[in-house]
Amino acid sequence: MTQELIDTMPALRLGRPLVVAIDGPSGSGKSSVSKEVARRLNLAYLDTGAMYRALTWFCLDRGTDLNDASAVELAAEDMPLDISTTPHEEYVRVDGTDVTAAIREPAISSAVSTVATTLGARTELIRRQRALIEKHHRRMVVEGRDITTVVVPGAEVRMLLTASEEARLRRRGIQLGGTQSAEQLAAQVTQRDAKDSTVVNFTQAADGVVTLDSSDLDFEETVTAALRIVTKVINHE
């Protein structure tokens, strides 16, 4: 299946730029699906949410007041961040400390929206995201909330991955090993999305952005549907 798809994509074989931008709400499957799409298409991969999470970890670690916008902006500029850009290995390091697991803790999930709604911090992280995309010669799957609209509006492929709220809460619950109550899950998914939506729109597809609703698809079906969208868009079908 993948090889057949790749054979129909001259843009992939010739090494031309191919940015696949994927946005969507929490629990829609962005990270897992984007990573698998990158693996199958042999592209680099960037999880921009992990950058906002790393900045939140950095601020909390050094005692920065998350409600002090200038301090958070300064922290964004100061943060020595080393993040994986391959779908084959996941790591996030801040000033040499491996924070890969720590940034997924509920404490970070509850604090990250405050950091992500600090506009100065966004400007700095977006600058770093664009630099990483250029470093990889614009051959990358990039996922987040504002990739299709702000970070790379000129991406070759732009996709909004959605799923019903019920599906997203269920998936996140399973992912966290059933450790979270319904209230905790709602705080980490629904309420966080509501707060994040105040600075970026990831609930409606912008012009030229293809919506993929994964509510009734399993993981493999979602990956296949995403690959079909890539093929279709770059082959101008």
Residue ranges in contact with ligand YYY by CB under 6 A: 26, 30, 48-50, 52-53, 112-113, 116, 144-147, 192, 196, 200
Distances (CA, A) of 237 to 21, 166, 233: 19, 33, 7
- Minimum CB–partner distance for residue 17 and ligand YYY (Å): 20
Pairing of strands 139-144, 81-83: unpaired
Give the integer Cα–Cα distance in Å for 104 and 148: 24
- Beta strand 44-47 with 139-144 is parallel
- Total residues contacting ligand ADP by CB under 6 A comes to 17
List Cβ neighbours of 135 (8 Å cut-off, separation of 6 or more): 85
* CA dist., res. 224 & res. 230, Å (int): 10
- Segment near ligand ADP (CB under 6 A); pick from 26-34, 132-140, 180-188, 203-211: 26-34
Pick the piece of the chain touching ligand ADP (CB under 6 A) from 86-94, 125-133, 168-176, 196-204.
168-176
Least distance to ligand YYY, CB of residue 218, Å: 19
Residue number with CB closer to ligand ADP (56 or 222) = 222
Judged by beta carbon, residue 54 or residue 233, the one nearer ligand YYY is: 54
CB of 29 to ligand ADP, least distance (A): 3
b (16+ CB within 10 A) / e for 149-188: bbbbeebbbbbbbbbeeebbbebbbeeeeeebeeebbeeb
Using rule CB under 6 A, residue 166 touches ligand ADP: no
The residues of the shown chain that bind ligand ADP, judged by CB under 6 A, are 24, 26-33, 171-172, 175, 214, 217-219, 222
